[in-house]
Amino acid sequence: MKIYFASSSKVWDDPSWVSEIPEAGFDGWEISADGNYRLDKADTFSMVRHEIDEYSLNVSVHAPFSDLNPASINMPIWEETVKQFTVCIEQASLLTDTVVLHPGYLSPVSRFDPAPAWNNHKQACIRLGETAEKSGVTACLENMPNLEDFFCRDPYEQDGFVDGVPGMGLTLDIGHANTTGNLEDFCKIILPKAYHLHIHDNHGKYDEHLPLGKGSINWNKIMPKIVKEYKGKIIVVEGRNPEEGKKSLEFLRKWF
């Protein structure tokens, strides 16, 4: 099992911090492709590629999510979201075979009638799955933390968006599922199907991204399920910085 590190809080930092990832003992880096690390800009793509080569890092990519909504009922916004995800998938395919996508959310208007937003979200998954399949990438839809109006806080809904869609897979985020109060359901329904795994801790209310063992998740119960049922090849520790990530890595070494 390969264990990578990711930190969305680093998207505005200069790339010098990336050296801390292999120093902490991680096998790779999940690039949060936002802020200074967007892959749709030639200079930032070159910078990212330089860091990968400099430290011989394996990588996966998390697509940008700032101000994007694949469930938007405002069609110019929907088209721009699909466009930006498409470009990210195509660029990411030059670096990896795994891209993570955040799902969409209901707007104040679509809240009154969620069906069009759900349908638009499904169509976005179909479009992006086509791009992913052509690019040799699996685009993995992620479950969300307890944020009002976001899709994919329920495992059946998350699974439904990618069911029967070539090129699409599932990312299970253990920390997110802990905040929605249905971690066991996610482990039962999503874990055996998951292509990709995010792991971090919290106290069950907020998406704190704490080191493993510093929150309320019962890892002695969850980790044996992961060892037995997770069929993916990568676990991504999501942390606030590589120093805290290293604590999670040491914690994971009990099982891997």
Task: Give one word for 119, left, alpha or beta, with left for phi > 0 and alpha for psi -120 to 50.
Answer: alpha
Q: Which pLDDT tens digit goes with each residue over 136-162?
A: 999 999 999 999 999 999 999 999 999
Which residues are CB-neighbours of 109 under 8 A, at least 6 positions away?
73
Report domain extents, the chain: 2-252
CA dist., res. 190 & res. 155, Å (int): 6
Mean pLDDT value across residues 67-91: 98
Q: Say what the pLDDT of residue 21 is.
A: 98
Q: Say what the pLDDT of residue 69 is.
A: 98
Looking at every residue in the chain, the average pLDDT score rounds to 97
At residue 233 the predicted structure's pLDDT band, cuts being 50, 70 and 90, is very high
Q: What is the CATH number of domain 2-252?
A: 3.20.20.150
Nearest one of 121, 128, 123 to 144, comparing CA atoms: 121
Nearest one of 19, 26, 23, 24 to 52, comparing CA atoms: 19
Q: Rg of the chain over CA atoms, in angstroms?
A: 17
> What is the Cα 66 distance to its own chain's centre?
14
CA dist., res. 7 & res. 200, Å (int): 11
Q: Residues of the chain with pLDDT > 70: what percent? A: 100
Q: Which pLDDT tens digit goes with each residue over 13-46?
A: 999 999 999 999 999 999 999 999 999 999 999 9
Q: Which pLDDT tens digit goes with each residue over 185-224?
A: 999 999 999 999 999 999 999 999 999 999 999 999 999 9
Q: Say what the pLDDT of residue 194 is.
A: 98
At residue 83 the predicted structure's pLDDT band, cuts being 50, 70 and 90, is very high
Q: Which pLDDT tens digit goes with each residue over 113-127?
A: 999 999 999 999 999
pTM assigned to the model: 0.96
